[in-house]
A = this chain, B = another copy of it.
Amino acid sequence: MTREAEQPQPAFGAHDHAHCTADTLARAEAEAVRLGLRLTPVRRRVLEILLEQHRAMGAYEVLDRLAAEGFGHQPPVAYRALDFLVDNGFAHRVRRLNAFAACMHPGETHAPVFLICRSCNVVAEAAGQPVRSALDAAAAAAGFTVERANIEALGLCPECKARELAS
């Protein structure tokens, strides 16, 4: 039913980000309707904020934005919206950064792998089905059943790698 990743490479490098954002948001909205979930003003706004950049944002960073826009000023306001988004697959938690990133494939079945550039801080969500399979196999070898997984890589994105070589 839901497939993964139409295009192999997003996030890094120049692209029509306005379209990228609008498209992802639209798919998220459709998915919310399909699931009967309420994408309320705060929740929707938080998702928009996360979508602005291909980066992960801390809860307090999001909260500052919300507060400046007339929403509540207290941590639970941000955490609740973020938790809602994460629980329902509209965003992901990037544990390495204690931060959150919008899901770029809402509604699709996907095992996300996060590629975090240590130089420019871009966070890309790559297709991780093969990685996940390998993980399941490794776990199975120990008799362990995987329910949820976090797969995160820190390194250099293509742009920053090129820039580093040029120096």
Contacts and interface: CB of A to CB of B under 8 A. Distances in A.
A90 to B, nearest CB: 20
26 contacts: A9-B143, A11-B142, A95-B95, A96-B150, A113-B138, A113-B139, A115-B139, A115-B144, A124-B144, A126-B139, A126-B141, A127-B138, A128-B138, A130-B134, A130-B137, A130-B138, A131-B134, A139-B155, A142-B158, A145-B161, A147-B153, A147-B155, A149-B154, A150-B150, A150-B151, A151-B151
Copies of this chain, how many? Answer: 2
A158 B139 CA distance: 10
Nearest to A97: B95
Contact of A8 (B9, B128, B142, B152): B142
Interface of A: 8-9, 11-12, 95-96, 113, 115, 117-118, 124, 126-128, 130-131, 133-135, 137-139, 141-158, 161
A139 to B, nearest CB: 6
